[in-house]
Amino acid sequence: MKLMLSFFLVLSLVFNLSGQGTFTTIPVFNIHPGNFFSEKENKNYVTAPEWQDNAIASDISLTSFRVTFHNFPKEARKAFLLAVSIWDQHIDSPVPIHIEARWEELEGNILAKGNPSIFYNNFSGAPIRNVYYPVALAEKFSGRDMNSGAPDIICRFNNRYNWYFEADGNTPSTHYDLLSSALHEITHGLGFSGFLNESEGKGFYNNNNELPSIYDYFLFNDQDEQISDRTMFKSHSDELYKQMTSDNVKFCQTISSPEDQIMIDWIYAPPVWNDGTSMYHLKGYNYEEENGLMSPYAVKGRANHEPGMIVLTILSQLGWHIENVNSIQLPNQSRNVAELN
């Protein structure tokens, strides 16, 4: 996941929500996580940020996270744990967030994958009904372990690539920076993810209930229309697909109520749908620039060790309590948020 990344979700559901008015917990499992594809050529970027902490893995203490490694090289664990510790400085949860990190061979030119292991809707404490929340966020709101101790976030890294394990930002032009990739994948797992997908030219929400994720819920077009408003853009429709490939999709922030919104930033929604990048990345940033962690492309030899205020603001809007996100200067554009029925 260090160069084109994307988050796709194919879901398997046992229950059906069909218009019920009660608050029922319906889990949605993720089969196809976000992929980070390798970029073939280097580009001229600004200097990568440096990481000043020389702590070894055993010195890293985590408050809200715990990590399980599978076949992960010992020399790679420090970089991954440092990425977790960066998020640990921003994210707080009464329920420990369990990340499972895997070192394995991935198909094609996929560098890494990251995703929530499961989504829930209509659980006790859910802020918005009929919207799916990644399990780590659902557990924060509910205050309980909802998936019986199973991983909340799964990150996979391709063992066929050359990785740079140090945390100084001086990544060789022949290697991919593991700390940067881990930081990016964990971001997907925290909720920078959703269900929008394409089949035969139609857009749809890839779960049996055809409901959006909390991230999907805050996507708008340039006409101030909410993408997840099913009165305008039904799942499995040409209309929804046109929105997904309009190159004019924005993520919005609630100011004082669901009807009071301003734009945070543009979302990557190219005219041709790309399962590896569309909708679940930011538009307009190079990978190692400020706010560029969730851009759709990255290259060898470059690093990004900071989430950036745009990403922090988006995660704050999803429901994570993050300090100082209001310091960002956002465009003053009003929004109307349609209720999901």
319: left (phi over 0), alpha (psi -120 to 50) or beta: left
> What does the pLDDT read at residue 60?
76
Q: Which residue, among 57, 34, 10, has the nearest Cα to 187 in the 3D structure?
A: 34
> What does the pLDDT read at residue 14?
26
Residue 35 and residue 202: Cα distance in Å, rounded? 21
> What does the pLDDT read at residue 259?
60
User: Whole-structure pTM over 0.75, yes or no?
Assistant: yes
Task: Tell me the domain boundaries of the chain.
Answer: 4-327
Could you tell me if 125 and 45 are in contact, meaning their C-beta atoms sit under 8 angstroms apart?
no
pLDDT tens, position by position, for the chain (341 residues)? Answer: 333 333 323 222 322 222 222 233 445 544 334 444 444 333 222 223 333 333 344 467 899 999 999 999 999 999 999 999 999 999 999 999 999 999 999 888 788 989 999 999 999 999 999 999 999 999 999 999 999 989 999 999 999 999 999 999 999 999 999 999 999 999 999 999 999 999 999 999 999 999 999 999 999 999 889 999 999 999 999 999 999 999 999 999 866 654 667 899 999 999 999 887 899 999 999 887 899 999 887 679 999 999 999 999 999 999 999 877 754 444 443 333 333 33
> What does the pLDDT read at residue 254?
64
Residue whose tokens read 């990590």? 67
Q: Which residue, among 66, 84, 1, 88, has the nearest Cα to 37 in the 3D structure?
A: 1
